[in-house]
Every structure is written in structure tokens, then in C-alpha cells.
């Protein structure tokens, strides 16, 4: 089954949310518009809507991520769903129980949606291909492959700050492109929205060999890469890359690719700086930039809840209509 038919139904509505590349621009825009309607909910004193009352959503995290799990949990609760947090690292999966056995046991408990994070690329697709028809799967990050809700909240944040004409924007993604599922999803989303220019900026050791096929211009020099950029997205650098001889040292990486006020002068005067978090201060950027007026890093976290509410409600709504 191809990705498009796995993610959407015959009417083009969302069934599962697995990766950006299976979406149409129309569906991506619909998710962003739905998230916009939820952004207001998070600012109210009572932050709940009853859309998923009576539904049960299981957070199934085979790989730790406090921030992603917390925002999914908050999003589900704001939709009035019941939430199960299953830390698979300490459960039966460790005892040799297979992925599908874990799934079948949860299905038997009448869970309506699984939010899945897994270290293996393709895990969410595998589960979506094998899950009972009435259950939706949301990919919360799989291996080096995809992190679609992160990319969505990034483009949602850009749209809120810069408006919906992506065609006039230059967006630079800086850092470990080679190992980043976030970067892959971001590039797909930005190209789907017809962004004027997408750039990736990194040392040669952190750029994938097929970089040109990703749909982005490649730069190995930060100042050139961010020249006249309207948006700069800094990626988190995993410290094991330092120990893995892909980079000489944290200090040298910061000297060459760390974002500082001095380097920001090469970008557009009203540049917006983003980061999926958590930041390694003094490696990816200094505190002056991270906490400065151009940074929308905390707004990204807030928007992540609205975006995840949109994805969950749309996938679940498809189920409701399909059952009628």
C-alpha cells in the first residue's frame, strides 16, 4: 500500500499521520488552518474542547522524548480524550514481546489512536499497515526518517510570523541534516507550500550524499548559507556526532556553524530564528540569539500543542464520519 492511500481515505481525508511526503498541499493547508482555530483555545482560561470526549489515545514511546510526549498528552487532554502513557522501555516489549503483540493487546483495550515514537525508520508505517481499521496512527518520530508534527509546527510558526505567502521566503536549515528526521520533514513541508528557496547548511560530514534530491540548495558556509534568509531553523546537534569523529569539537562547530548576533547580520533584517529544542547553548547558538527578539523558539512549543490537536482531531474525525 502506498503512503498516500495509507494516510488518507477515498475522500482525501486524514486517516493516519505518518509523514509529510504523503500529503497534498490542500490537506497540509487544511491541517494548518485547523491548528489556527485551536491556537485560540490554548489562550483561554478553560483550555478544553469536547471533540474527542470518550476517546482513548495511547502514547506509545519506544524512544524517550519528554517534550514531544508532553505536548501530545496536553493536546489530547485539551480535546477531552483519555490518555494512556505507555513507557515501552519498561514494559513487555523489553521481555521480547513483538510490536504487533503489544499492538493487539492495546487494541483489545479499545484504544482509538496510537501516538508512536520509535527508533526504527518506518515503524509507524508498519504499524499503520497492520492496525485494526478503526484505529488511527500518529507518527511522533521514527528513526532518521520522519518527524512530521515537528515540521508542521515549524511551518505553522513561520506562517503565523511571516504570513501565508511562502513563495517570497528564503528558509535556511542549519546543522546535522544527515541524521535529522526533523530536517527531512521540514524540507518536504516547505516545498509542498512552494517556499521560494529552501537551503541546508552544514559541514560536509553532516550532509546526506543525496542532498540535491531533497529539494534544497546545499551550503557548507554559514554566512553564505544564511545570506538574506527570512527564516533560520537551527537543528539540535546530538553529542554522539562529536564523539563519532564527524565533527572536530563542540568549540569548533560553534565557531563555524553556531548562530551569533554577529553572524545574523548576514540574514534578512527581520529574520526569524527557530529551533526544535532543546537547545545546546554555546553549540548551535548562543543565549543572546536564543533569548533574543528574533527567536520564536518558545512560540514553537506553544504552537506544537495546537498543531497536534489539529492532526489528532482530523484523523479521529475521519473515523467518526467513516463509521456513519
**What one-character-per-residue DSSP string does 140-189 give?**
EEETTTB-HHHHHHHHHHHHHHH-S-GGG-EEEEES--TT-HHHHHHHHH
- What CATH topology corresponds to 3-145+302-323? Rossmann fold (3.40.50)
pLDDT higher than threshold 60 for residue 1 = no
Q: How far apart are CA 171 and CA 173, in angstroms?
A: 7
CA–CA separation, 240 vs 251, rounded Å? 15
List, for residues 95-152, the tens digit of each pLDDT value. Answer: 556 778 888 888 998 999 999 998 888 889 999 999 998 899 999 988 778 899 999 9
Q: 274-295, pLDDT tens digit by residue? A: 999 889 999 999 999 999 999 9
Q: Which of 70, 13, 21, 64 is nearest to 308 (CA)?
A: 70
Q: Record the pTM.
A: 0.92
| DSSP 8-state code for residue 295 | B
Mean of the per-residue pLDDT values for the chain?
89
Domains 3-145+302-323 and 148-296 share a fold: yes
Phi, psi of 153 (to 5 degrees): -70, -30
The domain locations on the chain are 3-145+302-323, 148-296
Distance, in Å, from the CA atom of 124 to the CA atom of 113, rounded to the nearest integer, reads 12
Residue 260 has pLDDT above 50, yes or no: yes
pLDDT value at position 322? 45
Alpha-carbon gap, residue 63 to 117, rounded angstroms: 6
Cβ-contact 111, 135 below 8 angstroms: yes
Class of domain 148-296: alpha beta
Specify the range with the lowest mean pLDDT, choosing from 37-51, 140-154, 160-174.
37-51
Handedness of CA 72, 78, 79, 80 (dihedral sign): positive
Amino acid at each position: 500500500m502506498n503512503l498516500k492511500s495509507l494516510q488518507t481515505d477515498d475522500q482525501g481525508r486524514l486517516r493516519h499521520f505518518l509523514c509529510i511526503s504523503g500529503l497534498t498541499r490542500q490537506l497540509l493547508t487544511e491541517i494548518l488552518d485547523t491548528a489556527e482555530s485551536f491556537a485560540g483555545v490554548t489562550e483561554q482560561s478553560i483550555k478544553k474542547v469536547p471533540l474527542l470526549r470518550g476517546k482513548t489515545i495511547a502514547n506509545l514511546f519506544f524512544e524517550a522524548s519528554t517534550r514531544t510526549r508532553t505536548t501530545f498528552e496536553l493536546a489530547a487532554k485539551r480535546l477531552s480524550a483519555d490518555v494512556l502513557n505507555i513507557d515501552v522501555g519498561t514494559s513487555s516489549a523489553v521481555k521480547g514481546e513483538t510490536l504487533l503483540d503489544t499492538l493487539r493487546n492495546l487494541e483489545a483495550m479499545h484504544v482509538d489512536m496510537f501516538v508512536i515514537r520509535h527508533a526504527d525508520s518506518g515503524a509507524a508505517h508498519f504499524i499503520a499497515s497492520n492496525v485494526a481499521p478503526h484505529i488511527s496512527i500518529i507518527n511522533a518520530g521514527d528513526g532518521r526518517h520522519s518527524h512530521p508534527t515537528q515540521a508542521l509546527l515549524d511551518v505553522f510558526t513561520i506562517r503565523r510570523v511571516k504570513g501565508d505567502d511562502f513563495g517570497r521566503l528564503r528558509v535556511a536549515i542549519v546543522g546535522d541534516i544527515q541524521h535529522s528526521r526533523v530536517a527531512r520533514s521540514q524540507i518536504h513541508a516547505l516545498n509542498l507550500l512552494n517556499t521560494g528557496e529552501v537551503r541546508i547548511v552544514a559541514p560536509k560530514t553532516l550532509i546526506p550524499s543525496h542532498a540535491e534530491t531533497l529539494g534544497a540548495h546545499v551550503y557548507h558556509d554559514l554566512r553564505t548559507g544564511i545570506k538574506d534568509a527570512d527564516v533560520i531553523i537551527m537543528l539540535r546537534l546530538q553529542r554522539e556526532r562529536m564523539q563519532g569523529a564527524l565533527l572536530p569539537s563542540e568549540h569548533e562547530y560553534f565557531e563555524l556553524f553556531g548562530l551569533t548576533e554577529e553572524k545574523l547580520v548576514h540574514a534578512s533584517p527581520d529574520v526569524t530564528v527557530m529551533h526544535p529544542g532543546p537547545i545546546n547553548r554555546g553549540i548551535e547558538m548562543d543565549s543572546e540569539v536564543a533569548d533574543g527578539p528574533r527567536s520564536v523558539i518558545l512560540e514553537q512549543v506553544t504552537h506544537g500543542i495546537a498543531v497536534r490537536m489539529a492532526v489528532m482531531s482530523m484523523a479521529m474525525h475521519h473515523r467518526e464520519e467513516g463509521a456513519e
